Amino acid sequence: MVSIQNLHKKFGKNIVLSGVNLDIKEGGIFAVLGPNGSGKTTMIKSILGMVIPNQGTITVLGKNIKKSCNYRNQIDYLPQIANFPSNLKVNELITMIKDLRGKSTNEESLIKMFKLEPFLDKKLGNLSGGTKQKVNIVLAFMFDCPLIILDEPTSGLDPIALIRLKDLIQAEKVKGKTILITSHIMSFVEEISDEIVFLLEGEIYFKGTINELKTKTNQPDFERAIASILTENHA
């Protein structure tokens, strides 16, 4: 599905990714974890072509993404910070994105699911953080794409919306889609992910299931396992 070979990226003198190799198979939920500044978002943005790597190749669905843009038709993306043009209304934004991608969508059921009907005529600049994130989710799940990338999908969501989001992710997984998630909420990751990828200082430190991580670190629960990796490496 997605394959990354020897990915390097630095911003000025700051080396963010130094030789990431990663293969993501089709189907399932993959969580990308790592401390702040470990390069999670940079890696995801490289897959999307928003960040241009210094070195390395990325293939999505068997095609090299360099200088190509049509592969993004196969990706749904939820950005980390829900920044939208503030003078657009919610339904105008939805119509615009639909117009740009030119595909049929299921936004109505999503709007109903997240109870966004009262906000459709409001400007995006006047919405609260959580509501913006819900709009963000609607935009990301609106299209039926085989690859879904979610960067911190839980930020700002209330408990009900969080449950709905989990259901939504599981439903997409059942359809056989590949879902890539970054999150700092360990319980969320533990609950939904099939496999985790742990990034540390620009490299992949661990890739495998949560149980494998627990045995590797000799810790009874997931949160402690992650903590032990971090303390070992920063001590």
Partner 1 sequence: MLKILKYSFFDLIRSRWSYIYFAFYLTLGVVLLFLNNDLSKAVITLMNVIIVLVPLIGTIFGVMYYYNSKEFTELLLAQPLKRTTIFLGQYLGVAISLSMSLVLGLGIPFIFYGLFKSNAIWDFSLLLITGVFLTFIFSALAFNMALSNENKIKGFGYSILVWLFLAIIYDGIFLMSLILFEDYPLDKLSLIGTMLNPIDLSRTLILLKLDISALLGYTGAVFKQFFGTHFGLIVSITMLTIWVILPVFRIIYKSAKKDF
Binding site for partner 1 (CB under 8 A): 11, 45, 48-52, 69-73, 75, 77, 79, 83-88, 96-97, 99-101
| Closer to partner 1 by Cβ: residue 47 or 197 | 47
Cβ 218 to partner 1 shortest distance, Å: 39
DSSP 8-class letter at 125? G
Cβ 77 to partner 1 shortest distance, Å: 4
| Closer to partner 1 by Cβ: residue 48 or 161 | 48
| Closer to partner 1 by Cβ: residue 110 or 149 | 149
| Closer to partner 1 by Cβ: residue 133 or 207 | 133
Q: How far is CA 88 from CA 62, 85, 127, 139, in A?
A: 37, 6, 11, 14
Between CA 158 and CA 154 the distance in angstroms is 9
Cβ 122 to partner 1 shortest distance, Å: 16
**Closest C-alpha among 44, 50, 226 to residue 153:** 44
| Closer to partner 1 by Cβ: residue 56 or 227 | 56
C-alpha 145, offset from chain centre: 14
Cβ 99 to partner 1 shortest distance, Å: 6
**Closest C-alpha among 148, 153, 147 to residue 135:** 153
- Do residues 221 and 186 make contact, with C-beta atoms less than 8 angstroms apart? no
Cβ 166 to partner 1 shortest distance, Å: 23
Strand bridging mode 178-182 / 147-151 = parallel
Between CA 188 and CA 86 the distance in angstroms is 30
